[in-house]
């Protein structure tokens, strides 16, 4: 999962956390949206954007599927 965009409520973030846990998905946050997911959470893999960790960048490049999720991106 790649999270980003504006307009997230606390309830929406909690729903996303439950979805990610239930489906055992890794979660990254877009640059400037790192507060959407709890960093100590075991499913959190880092932020994607400026100065992305090279290992995470390679995982993104190698991914068969990326699920972007953002309230503001749909507008």
pLDDT tens string, the chain, 75 residues long: the values are 999 988 899 999 999 999 999 999 999 999 999 999 999 999 999 999 888 999 999 999 999 999 998 765 554
**pLDDT recorded at residue 22:** 98
Q: Which helix (H) or strand (E) holds 29?
A: strand 27-30
Q: What percent of the chain has pLDDT over 70?
A: 93
Residue tagged 């949206």 (tokens): 33
d(CA 27, CA 66): 10
* 3-class DSSP state of 4: coil
**Which one-letter DSSP state was computed for residue 42?**
T
**pLDDT recorded at residue 70:** 79
User: Which tokens go with 56?
Assistant: 């995470």
Query: How many CB atoms within 10 Å of residue 47?
Result: 22
């Amino acid at each position: 999962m790649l999270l980003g965009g504006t307009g997230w409520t606390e309830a929406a973030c909690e729903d996303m956390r439950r979805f990610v846990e239930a489906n055992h998905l890794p979660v990254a946050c877009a640059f400037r949206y790192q507060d959407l997911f709890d960093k100590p959470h075991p499913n959190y893999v880092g932020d994607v954007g400026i100065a992305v960790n090279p290992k995470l960048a390679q995982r993104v490049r190698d991914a068969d599927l990326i699920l972007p999720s953002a309230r503001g991106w749909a507008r």
